[in-house]
Amino acid sequence: GQQLNQSPQSMFIQEGEDVSMNCTSSSIFNTWLWYKQEPGEGPVLLIALYKAGELTSNGRLTAQFGITRKDSFLNISASIPSDVGIYFCAGRDYSGAGSYQLTFGKGTKLSVI
């Protein structure tokens, strides 16, 4: 299957700091999704991106669909303790036979100290 490289794997930041994480792929995606997962729960969708160059915000979160369609980044401004969790990127591409495939990154674990 496709491979997504998500970085960093983990981050320790102080409350109030800005956070940045990204995902890169060797292939082109037509959709980028960012999810947050809290311990013992399922991932929850934060932001969905559908067009190259698209920049979308959701409160203190901002995500962008890279121009090359092979990358995306997520920024969190002024972090707070409840931002703790694992953030996953996911990219969707056409897998043939009229269907699309979703590939997940391995996640960025965010800890606020």
Reading the block at residue 1, the tokens are 């299957």
Nearer to other proteins, 97 or 113 (CB): 97
Asked whether the bond before 8 is cis by omega within 30 degrees of 0, the reply is: yes
* SS3 of residue 101 by DSSP: strand
Measured CA to CA, the distance from residue 54 to residue 85 in angstroms comes to 25
What is the Cα 68 distance to its own chain's centre?
16
Pairing type for strands 71-76 and 85-96 reads: unpaired
Q: Is 104 in the site for other proteins (CB under 8 A)?
A: yes
Least separation in angstroms between CB 15 and other proteins: 25
Least separation in angstroms between CB 65 and other proteins: 13
Nearer to other proteins, 31 or 77 (CB): 31
Nearer to other proteins, 66 or 107 (CB): 107
Contact 5, 88 (CB under 8 A): no
Identify residues 4-63 at the interface with other proteins (CB under 8 A): 4, 6, 9, 30-31, 33, 35, 40-45, 48, 50
Residues that bind other proteins (CB under 8 A): 1, 4, 6, 9, 30-31, 33, 35, 40-45, 48, 50, 88, 92, 94, 98-100, 102, 104-107
